[in-house]
């Protein structure tokens, strides 16, 4: 590991095709991030999301509101997905 890097628990979602089509690869795993990575600078219960997409490139949203509001957001998203099935 290089100086200043951090290990973070990172969730990744990737699509093999354009516009969210094709096979989906999802993972949640510990990842070593260099000190200049935006996710390496998130502390405590804060959270962030990095979206990489064509043609916008990379957008970082965060840090988030922390543990309680993040949990509420995840639950809300799961309910919305379940209703759509």
Confidence at residue 32, expressed as pLDDT on a 0 to 100 scale: 95
CB 9 within 8 A of CB 39: no
Answering whether pTM is above 0.85, one says: no
59-75 pLDDT, tens digit per residue, is 888 766 666 777 788 88
Question: How is residue 40 annotated by DSSP?
Answer: G
pLDDT of 72 reads: 81
User: Which of the residues in the chain have pLDDT under 70?
Assistant: 1-3, 63-67, 85
């Amino acid at each position: 590991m290089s100086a200043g890097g951090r290990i973070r628990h990172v969730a990744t979602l990737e699509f093999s095709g354009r516009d969210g089509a094709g096979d989906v690869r999802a993972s949640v795993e510990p990842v070593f991030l260099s000190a200049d990575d935006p996710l390496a600078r998130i502390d405590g219960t804060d959270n962030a999301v990095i979206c990489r997409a064509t043609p916008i490139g990379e957008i970082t949203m965060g840090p988030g509101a922390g543990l309680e509001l993040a949990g509420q957001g995840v639950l809300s998203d799961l309910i919305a997905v379940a209703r759509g099935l």
